[in-house]
Every structure is written in C-alpha cells, then in structure tokens.
Structure 1
Amino acid sequence: MKLKNPFKFKNWKKYLFEFTSIFLAVMLAFILDRWNDNRINSVAENKILEEIYQGLERDSLDIASDEHYFKIAFRGLRYFNDIIDGKMVQQDSLVPFYFFFSRESLVVQNKSGYESLKSRGLETIKNDSLRSKIINLYEVDYELARKFNEEYSEYQFTQNYFHKINEAIAPHFEYDATNNITGINLPITLDDAERKLLKSYLWKIAVGKQDRFQAFVYSKKKIGQLRTAIKQYLKNK
C-alpha cells in the first residue's frame, strides 16, 4: 500500500515565487540603504575635504604674509646692529624697522575643516594615505608651530630681549609735536661691554626668528603638498 507524503506541497511554485520575491525585496532594500549611506558619506567627505582645502589656502596666504614680516625683521635686526656698532644709518628706515623689530609674529591656523572631520570621525576620509597626511599636518606640524610661538619661553623675544635693547636706543629717539618718532641721534656711544651684550641679544633674536622662518617655510611646503593631494583625490573620485 502506497502512503501519501504529508509534506508534499501542491503549490510549491507559488511558495518559491513568494520566497524569492521577499528575498529580492529585502536584498534590494539593503543594497539601496548601503548605497544611500555611501552616497551620504561621500558627500560629507567631499564637503569636509573642500573645507580643509579652503582653510589651507587661507593658511598659505597667512604664511606668505609672515614670510614678508620675517624678511623685514631680519633687515631690521641688521639695521639696529649697525646702530649699536656706532654706524650711521638711513633715518627714514627707523620707524618701520623699529615697528617690525618689536613685533611678534602670530600663528593663525584655520582648523575648522579639521575640527569638522574629527567631529564626524576621521574614518570619513576613506583614503588611508590622505587621512594620514591630514592628521600629521594638524596634530603634529600645526601643534608644534603653536607651541613654539605661544609656549616656548625662549622664543618670546619681546619679553626676553626687546626691553633690554630698547633701554639703550630709545633714549636717543627724536619725536615731533604729535609724539611720533621722526629719527634717532647718532652715533650712540656705548662701552665695549654694553655693545657686546646688546649684540648678543640681537644674535639670539636673529637665531630664534630664523628657526621660526624655516618652520614657516616647511609648513608652507607641507600645506602645498596636502592641497595637491586633496585636489587630486577629489578629481579622481
């Protein structure tokens, strides 16, 4: 006697079709969801990279301005070195050189793009090499530049040396009726010990400013390389 198979489905084609339809619908929804997430992440990545690129462009302009300041400051240091040596100098250069000589350079870093990246997550930048370059610039190079300018006491030139030099030269300044500096009575007479001491201060300032200048040049190079890398990455996406 032949037994009936209780597990035999008469409508197996119908069940297979329904299963396949549900499976495909779930897979399609999953694929669309992943595609949408990738699209959103890609848009966010582009936006953050463009913000970083623009910030680096502003930093490049600031560095160019700082480079101009350093070049004038170096000339000013040589100018006051000549004064301390008892030499005659051009009077019309006194005020600008005195201004830049006594002025400290400022480090202005546009970090809003990098802060946006950290807020969203560093992994937003998919390219490992590009992400590493960005982190290195902001976390290492920029942080070192900030510390040298704001925290390293030896590089606080105005605080450490300017007043000592100013005490020797400022009493010889000439002023007009509105209290503007118009010139300096030359030559300044100093004994040998005073002259050597002042020249040592000028030397210390010059060495420190040269260190800063080289750091700015190095940062400018790193910024240029990163901007090129970002531009190329966005172009190839």
Structure 2
Amino acid sequence: MTTFKTVRWSTYLFELFVVFLGVTLAFALDEWNENRRKRNIEIKTLTEIRDGLQLDQTDIQDNMSGHRRGLKACAVFRTYLRSPQPVPDSLPFYFSYLTRDFIAIQNSAAYESLKTRGLDIITNDSLRLEIVALYDFHFEIIEKLEEHYAEMQFYTLYFHPINDLMVDYLVFDERGRLTDLLPTVHLTPTDHRKLLSYLWRIEYNRRFTLIQYETLVQKLEQLMVHVTEEIERLQ
C-alpha cells in the first residue's frame, strides 16, 4: 500500500511538473515571439529612418550648392559694380541666383511613423535622443531659416529693390530672356552704395545659413553611423 501511494504521488508530481513546464515554456515562447516582433519593428523603423536620411543628404547638398552659387553671385556682381571692365557672359546667370531662395525639404515620414508607433520602440536611449534632436532641433533650425525667418527671405527683401536700381542696365532678347547687363556708368553713388549694402547683407546671411547646414550635415552623418551600428547589433 505504501509503495502504491508513493508511486501515485510521484505520478501526480511528475504530471504537475509537466504542466508547469508546459505553461512556463508557453509563456517563454510568447515572450520570445513578442520580443522578436518588437525587434523586427525596431529594425524596420531604423532602416526607414536611415533611408530617409540618405535622401535628406541629397536635398541638403542641393540647397548648400545653391547658397554657394548665391555667394558666388554676390562676388561676381560686386566686381561688376566696381569694375569698368567688360561685363562677363556669366553675369546674367549669376544675377538669377543673387536673390534665389530655397525650401527645406525633409523626408520625415519615418520619423512621423516612429512618433505614431511610440518613441520607446527605439530601445537604445542615447540613439533615441539623437534621433529626436536631429529632427526636432537641427532640421527645425534649417526650416525656420529657409522658410520663416524674414531676414533670410532674399527674394522678398532684395529682388525688387535690386531690380528697380538695375532695370536700366538689363538687356533682354526677343524672347524676353535676360542675356546681358550693361555697365552701370550712370548709377548714382547713393544707389551704388545701396547695391553694395544689399550684397553684403545677402552674403552675410547665406554664410550664416551654410554654417547651420554644415552643423546639420555633421549631426546627420553621425546619426546614420549610429543607426547602422544599432541595426547590425539587433540583427
């Protein structure tokens, strides 16, 4: 009888252990699957952010090149105002860039998706803060400078004043395209100084904007490296 009871209890304990083990393994499997799902979402989100940043690099470089052409336009136009030499053929081209503005294009779809899903999807705290800083601070600075800060709206501020002073020196072809500029021999000293003042201000503000772009590029490239490292770690 004692032996029978011992065997029965042993059977019960074994069955209880099997049930407990099964439940534990089921919970562990569910947790593993959930962690894998979250990790896959994190990898997908980081990959989308990296792809968006690669597109941003192209847009940023295009804008920086445009501002550099604007600086070159200031230098060429200043030489034109100061020199009695013949007008260079490139002057009409640079005249068109003198007051050109640019739009801050930002591929933020991946970041907006991240905010919708929840920022805590990014498990690396420092990387999450770096992403937020780039999009909500550094990109924001560029957008405000390019599109909202009145001092940087070159066309609005300077096109009409410059055009009004230069209209008698602009040469157009039969199709209405600017083809040449005449020497400003009849420009008054006051108007001459006005134009130089406009050039100085445009040049100063374009240089300031380029400095902000250079900071953005540095932060963006650093983030791309860190995002790539995190993707490789998670895979």
- TM-score, structure 1 normalization: 0.90
Q: Does 1:27 align with 2:29?
A: no
Match of 2:100 among 93, 99, 103: 103
Is the partner of 1:91 in helix, strand or coil?
coil
After TM superposition, give the deviation of residue 171 of structure 1 in Å: 2.5
Q: Does 1:159 align with 2:163?
A: no
Q: How does 1:170-209 map to 2 (within 5 A)?
A: 170-209=167-206
Report the CA distance shift for 1:87/1:14 in structure 2 as closer, same or farther (over 3 A).
farther
Q: Does 1:230 align with 2:227?
A: yes
Q: Matched residue pairs, number?
A: 230
Report the CA distance shift for 1:205/1:172 in structure 2 as closer, same or farther (over 3 A).
same
Q: Give the equivalent residue in structure 1 for 2:73.
A: 76
- Read off the aligned partner of 2:219 and give its amino acid letter: K
- Structure 1 unaligned regions, length at least 5: 1-7
Report the CA distance shift for 1:89/1:103 in structure 2 as closer, same or farther (over 3 A).
farther
8 Å CA contact 1:134–1:226 kept in 2: the answer is yes
After TM superposition, give the deviation of residue 10 of structure 1 in Å: 7.9
CA distance in 2, matches of 1:209, 1:87: 27
Q: Give the equivalent residue in structure 2 for 1:57.
A: 54
- Structure 2 unaligned regions, length at least 5: none
After TM superposition, give the deviation of residue 89 of structure 1 in Å: 5.2
CA distance in 1, matches of 2:61, 2:80: 29
CA distance in 2, matches of 1:171, 1:126: 64
- Read off the aligned partner of 1:226 and give its amino acid letter: L
| 98-107 vs 136-145, greater mean Cα deviation | 98-107
| 85-94 vs 108-117, greater mean Cα deviation | 85-94
* 1:183-208 alpha-carbon deviations (Å, 9 max, x no partner): 11113422222222221121111111
CA distance in 1, matches of 2:191, 2:95: 20
CA distance in 1, matches of 2:140, 2:112: 14
Report the CA distance shift for 1:215/1:207 in structure 2 as closer, same or farther (over 3 A).
same
8 Å CA contact 2:103–2:146 kept in 1: the answer is yes
* 1:103-129 alpha-carbon deviations (Å, 9 max, x no partner): 102211111111111111111111111
Q: Give the equivalent residue in structure 2 for 1:3.
A: none
CA distance in 2, matches of 1:75, 1:89: 18
Match of 1:66 among 52, 63, 68: 63
- TM-score, structure 2 normalization: 0.91
| 150-159 vs 82-91, greater mean Cα deviation | 82-91
Is the partner of 1:215 in helix, strand or coil?
helix
Q: Does 1:144 align with 2:141?
A: yes
Q: Identity, % of aligned pairs?
A: 33
Report the CA distance shift for 1:167/1:86 in structure 2 as closer, same or farther (over 3 A).
farther
Q: Give the equivalent residue in structure 2 for 1:40.
A: 37
